[in-house]
């Protein structure tokens, strides 16, 4: 499968890279179809924020140029873009002269069951909680052990995703998705200033909903609010929107707002 | 410099390794002198705990055998041992058939100034707080962005280390060290069940102090206790013990218990 490092075809990285040593870097998981990266502007915005907060000295125009060329070759699939602080001497101190490493890894298009989108999914209630770290919240950085532990909690394919809560018990997101509730016509998603990943599809949905004049609320969500939701859905940049039909004792219908947003977004990922 | 992957000389790792993708792995930084890894039994105990908590299917006898052969070749320096969950398909789910990757990276012996041990050091008060994640607390795992951010807060070599507090403001550790206070003859170090790395030198000091019949207390440490400490010192597996002389408005003498422990441990790292 297609794999580039710093713009050149390569499969292997220095074992002394700080991406491996410390997870000192960022990534984006990008849907590529018809040779083009989808939601590119939103991936760029999140990457800019990550590069700023981690102080990664990288030319993002070069990164984007490589991504476009890579996507044209990949055609259809997933491009995983990683930026790491490159090789460093032993120790945590970031090198003043860091040479940021740019990785692009291709994968086939995801093979999620069509019924996830059409009929909805069941959520596994993960016991792994998200720690609160405002300095890293929202970013798609390379420190993802919480997601690994959460995803390891279930292997039954009856659960397409898992629900993650923060250490205070609030509802935050899925393991690899963001989560929305609909209640009395309002669209609600978690505020992500203490933990969680600010997904690009989440951002797209927030924008589209606002453009439609829908009431949109980004705030903390208490666990008890799940029981009161009229609709629940998940989203990410690869599959779009999955209605959530149930979790533990809870059950929800596939509601009209979920279907409306699915309709609006269906052309974004494949066309 | 010496570098092995899975027991073979190698400098590069697959760019699809989960150690890079998610920080899905563990490491140990091991002092090697006279061809032998120091504090080996304590490194083994921490690794066993990490392997258990992350469910890494690895033969630790093989890892230790490789470490011994690697150390004999390295002679004098630092062996960084990393275990990762190896290559996986896209997505957080750990592979049922994971082939854990074993890395050994050699570095020269650390060149810390002798006066750090003899005269003591000044601490930088880091603003970066440690998030509370009990599932990962104590482990030396590959998710270390908090340490990278904390170490990036200062570049003035007048500060040999930085003090890290948790999100609640308690004193936890240094960026690459553990921290002890001495008060009225008692030796106090932070309990590490919510965050922090349970260092091998910390464990050694706790054991030696107990063997001497010293009162040893492992518990939460409030920030205000720094002002009341008679002695403060740092420790890790490479440099042993550094007395702390000051931080911000605080100043401490190099006290008798610090010197006594330094004396006991001096033969551990070099001989």
User: Mean pLDDT over residues A58-68, rounded?
Assistant: 97
DSSP string over B135-147: TTTB--BS--HHH
Residues of A in contact with B175 (CB under 8 A): 92
Q: Which of A189, A176, A177, A262 is nearest to A225 (CA)?
A: A189
Cβ contact (<8 Å) for A21 and B142?
yes
Q: Could you tell me the pLDDT band of residue A107, with boundaries at 50, 70 and 90? A: very high
Domains of chain A and any CATH numbers:
3-107 (3.30.470.10), 114-269 (3.20.10.10)
Cβ contact (<8 Å) for A90 and B110?
yes
Residues of A in contact with B19 (CB under 8 A): 20
Cβ contact (<8 Å) for A21 and B27?
yes
Give the distance, in angstroms, between the CA of residue A74 and the centroid of all CA atoms in the same chain.
21
Q: How far apart, in whole angstroms, are the C-alpha atoms of residue A108 and residue B82?
A: 29
Q: Could you tell me the pLDDT band of residue A266, with boundaries at 50, 70 and 90? A: confident
Size of interface A-B (CB pairs under 8 A): 176
User: Mean pLDDT over residues A93-109, rounded?
Assistant: 95
Average pLDDT of the residues of chain B: 96
pLDDT of residue B271: 63
Q: Which of B127, B50, B113 is nearest to B81 (CA)?
A: B50
Residues of A in contact with B9 (CB under 8 A): none
Q: How far apart, in whole angstroms, are the C-alpha atoms of residue A229 and residue B191?
A: 41
**Whether the predicted pLDDT of B260 surpasses 70:** yes
Helix, strand, or coil (residue A67): helix
User: Mean pLDDT over residues A152-165, rounded?
Assistant: 97
In Å, how far are A124, B59, B122 from A246, measured between CA atoms? 9, 40, 55
pLDDT of residue A271: 63
Find the closest chain B residue to A109 by CA distance.
B90
Tens of pLDDT, residue by residue over B201-231, are 999 999 999 999 999 999 999 999 999 999 9
Q: Answer yes or no: are the C-beta atoms of A213 and A187 closer than 8 Å.
A: no
Residue A255 has which token pair?
Answer: 């509601």
Residue B216 has which token pair?
Answer: 């040893």
Tens of pLDDT, residue by residue over A174-230, are 999 999 999 999 999 999 999 999 999 999 999 999 999 999 999 999 999 999 999
pLDDT of residue A195: 98
Q: Which residue do the tokens 């939460």 mark? A: B220
Helix, strand, or coil (residue B224): coil
| ipTM of the complex, rounded to two decimals | 0.97
Backbone dihedral angles phi then psi of residue B8, each to the nearest 5 degrees: -115, 145
Q: Which residues contact B114 (CB under 8 A, 6 or more apart)?
A: none
Cβ contact (<8 Å) for A145 and B92?
no
| A78 → closest Cβ in B24, B90, B136 | B90
Distance from the B37 Cα atom to the nearest Cα atom in chain A, whole angstroms: 18
CB count, 10 Å around CB of B1? 10
Residues of B in contact with A19 (CB under 8 A): 20
DSSP string over A242-255: EEEEEETTEE----
**Whether the predicted pLDDT of B28 surpasses 80:** yes
Give the distance, in angstroms, between the CA of residue B14 and the centroid of all CA atoms in the same chain.
26
Candidates A92, A96, A101, A195, partner chain B, best to mutate (most B CBs within 10 A): A92
Residues of B in contact with A5 (CB under 8 A): 15
**pLDDT cut 90: percent of chain A above it:** 95
Distance from the A225 Cα atom to the nearest Cα atom in chain B, whole angstroms: 25
Give the distance, in angstroms, between the CA of residue A205 and the centroid of all CA atoms in the same chain.
13
Taken as a whole, chain B contains a residue count of 271
| B92 → closest Cβ in A54, A96, A147 | A147
Distance from the B76 Cα atom to the nearest Cα atom in chain A, whole angstroms: 15
**Whether the predicted pLDDT of A270 surpasses 80:** no
CB count, 10 Å around CB of A72? 13
Average pLDDT of the residues of chain A: 96
Cβ contact (<8 Å) for A141 and B145?
yes
Cβ contact (<8 Å) for B148 and A103?
no
| B141 → closest Cβ in A29, A145, A155 | A145
Q: Could you tell me the pLDDT band of residue A90, with boundaries at 50, 70 and 90? A: confident
Q: Answer yes or no: are the C-beta atoms of A139 and A46 closer than 8 Å.
A: yes
Q: Which of B156, B122, B111 is nearest to B243 (CA)?
A: B122
pLDDT of residue B90: 82
Find the closest chain A residue to B194 by CA distance.
A131
Cβ contact (<8 Å) for A15 and B16?
no
CB count, 10 Å around CB of A94? 22
pLDDT of residue B266: 81
Beta strands in A41-156 (DSSP E): 77-84, 101-107, 121-130
Q: Which residues pair with A240 in a beta bridge?
A: A236
pLDDT of residue B88: 83
Q: Which residues contact A37 (CB under 8 A, 6 or more apart)?
A: A30, A31, A43, A67, A68, A71, A79
Residues of B in contact with A90 (CB under 8 A): 29, 78, 80, 107, 110
């Amino acid at each position: 499968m297609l794999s580039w490092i710093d713009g050149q075809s390569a499969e292997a990285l220095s074992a002394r890279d700080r991406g491996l040593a410390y997870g000192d870097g960022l990534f984006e998981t990008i849907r590529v179809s018809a040779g083009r990266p989808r939601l590119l502007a939103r991936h760029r915005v999140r990457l800019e924020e990550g590069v700023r907060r981690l102080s990664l000295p990288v030319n993002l125009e070069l990164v984007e140029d490589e991504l476009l060329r890579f996507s044209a070759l990949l055609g259809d699939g997933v491009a995983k873009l990683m930026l790491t602080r490159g090789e460093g001497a032993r120790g945590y101190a970031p090198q003043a002269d860091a040479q940021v490493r740019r990785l692009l890894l291709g994968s086939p298009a995801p093979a999620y069951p069509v019924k996830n989108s059409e009929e909805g999914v069941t959520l596994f209630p993960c016991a792994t909680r998200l720690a609160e770290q405002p300095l890293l919240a929202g970013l798609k950085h390379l420190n993802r052990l919480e997601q690994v532990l959460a995803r390891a909690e279930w292997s039954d394919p009856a659960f397409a995703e898992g629900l993650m809560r923060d250490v205070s018990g609030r509802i935050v997101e899925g393991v690899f998705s963001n989560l929305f509730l609909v209640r009395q016509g309002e669209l609600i998603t978690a505020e992500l200033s203490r933990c969680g990943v600010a997904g690009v599809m989440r951002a797209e949905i927030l924008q589209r909903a606002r453009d439609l004049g829908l009431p949109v609320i980004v705030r903390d969500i208490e666990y008890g609010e799940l029981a009161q939701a009229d609709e629940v859905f998940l989203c990410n940049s690869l599959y779009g929107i999955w209605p959530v039909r149930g979790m533990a004792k809870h059950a929800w219908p596939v509601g009209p707002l979920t279907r409306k947003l699915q309709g609006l977004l269906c052309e974004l990922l494949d066309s």
